[in-house]
Structure 1
Amino acid sequence: MGFPDLLSMVDIALAILVASFAGVVKGMVGFAMPMILISGLGSFLAPELALAGLMLPTLATNAWQGMRDGLRAALASLARFKLFLGVGALCLFASAQLVGVLPAAVLLTVIGVPLVFFAVWQLLGRPLTLSEASRRIEVAMAVLAGSLGGLSGVWGPPVVAYLTALDTPKAEQMRIQGVLYLLGSVALVIAHTGSGVVTRHSMAFSAVLVPAALAGMWLGYRLQDRIDQAAFRRATLVVLLLAGLNLIRRGVLG
């Protein structure tokens, strides 16, 4: 069965709309594209095809986001979070091989609940902050992010919660998220070449969504450049809250 046989024109049009919206949100707050894509595409496509569909748009938009301030700044962010990246990548590769074997419902719920608590607590004006990066906390968040990413293709929320708790400035947080997610995107594609998710036909579908995702991200950037640090933080927390609720929904309802 080839790519044209997998989807109808209505399916493709809906997928492009979902990718455009995901791009707008990512341009505004720097994350949530995999969450929106896997949720949106998964509502009318097979889970494996939805997971494959998010891969190339996520890869392309993360490359743009990570390199927006130049290669030198991106390398500096890479050096700062090398421990996070290493641990996260190992967990992503390991958990990706369990797709279709290990139910992700428990993991999704376990991660979603504290994310909702964190976002609500912050939005109520009761900050939970880290004065400086802790190696133990960094490793713990990397394990969560990598494991969730391998199983579901969504690894952003734990990363955002960690960076928000560190009170990272807007421009730096956008860049760091881009660099971390870029390498995570590459690892996700490589990891799933052995799981059966990445095929010639599924990647053709994923490639169709790239232009829409990039166009949406361009619009999101225009909106993000107009808001200050406080507004950016609130927007990030609102999207993080929605991400956590979505993880719980997926964990409970499937």
Structure 2
Amino acid sequence: MDLSLSLPLLAIVGATFFLAGIVKGVTGMGLPTVAMGILGALLSPLAAAGLLLAPSLVTNLWQLLAGPRLGTLARRLWPMMAAITLGTLAGSALLAGGEPALTTRALGIALVLYAAVTLIVRPFRLPEAWEPVASPVVGLTTGIVTGATGVFVMPAVPYLQSLGLGRDDLVQALGLSFTVSTLALALGLAWHGSLAGGNWSASLLAIMPALLGMAAGQRIRARVSLIAFRRAFLLGLLLLGLDMASRGLR
């Protein structure tokens, strides 16, 4: 799908990625989720996914490479990463299939599930003995959801949070998962012929507002309650997801 952005739409895209960057700067995640949520309500999810690829890749690589234990985490999580790749390639057929109403509802459901699970489910610790089986299952499920909706977080984020990783390791593990998901999504959309040159040009333009938003978010993080900020962010996603999931049903 080739994107041509008018000036008003370009301004909306820039503002969206600045806001998404703020969320990522404050919480350490959320850029693709916010971008897909807002842009998916204005454009088709396929067009929104094409826009998020470059800023998502740059910001997640930054998060991935800033941590101290990439090699250790990659060895531990490679079954999950391999499964994410396979699942994304399979799921991207839905996103690239040209059914905006279906993919919009699927995106809305993904946003609702992520927001509801994060708001309601208490943190838990997965027994280490379950990890060899759970890791590829979670990866495959995450990949299918990523390929179908452009949202990388379910069920990868709750799963990684359940592994008992230290704060820095968790941030780096999330960066690894999101980076692999971004690359796999780009590969899947390209495989289905859904990434034209205009998509990459528009996506590259979104990098700068995303980075500026991240820098602003890192400053804001020291001045706000992280719990209150995350709750407001998740409630906003929940309402947005409910609206998108209900389209065509009313």
Give TM class, smaller chain.
0.7 to 0.9
**Residue 135, structure 1, aligned to residue 132, structure 2:** yes
Between the two proteins, the alignment pairs up a number of residues equal to 244
1:178 and 2:159 are equivalent in the alignment: no
Q: Secondary structure at the match of 1:168?
A: coil
Q: 1:253 is paired with a residue of what secondary structure?
A: coil
Q: Which runs of 5+ in 2 are unaligned?
A: none
Q: Match for 2:37: what amino acid?
A: S
Contact 2:54–2:207 (CA under 8 A) maintained in structure 1: yes
Q: Spell out, residue by residue over 1:212-253, the C-alpha distance to the aligned partner (whole angstroms, 9 max, x if none).
A: 1111112223445x49xxx76786676566556654543332
Aligned to 2:41: 43
CA distance in 1 between partners of 2:14 and 2:197 (Å): 19
Higher mean C-alpha displacement, 47-56 vs 11-20: 47-56
Match of 2:163 in 1: 166
**TM-score calculated relative to the size of structure 1:** 0.81
Residue matched to 2:153: 156
Q: Residues 90 and 117 of structure 1: is their aligned pair in 2 closer, same or farther, counting only changes over 3 Å? A: same
Q: 4+ residue stretches of structure 1 with deviation over 6 A?
A: none
- Residue type of the partner of 2:5? L
Check conservation: 1:32, 1:157, Cα contact below 8 A.
no
Matches within 5 A, 1:76-155: 76-99=72-95, 100=97, 103-104=102-103, 115-122=114-121, 126-132=122-128, 134-155=131-152
CA RMSD of aligned residues (A): 3.1
Give the stretch that moved more between structures: 205-214 or 98-107: 98-107
- TM (normalized to structure 2)? 0.82
Structure 1 unaligned spans of 5+: none
1:220 is matched with 217
The letter of the residue matching 1:30 is: G
30, 33, 38: which one aligns with 1:32: 30
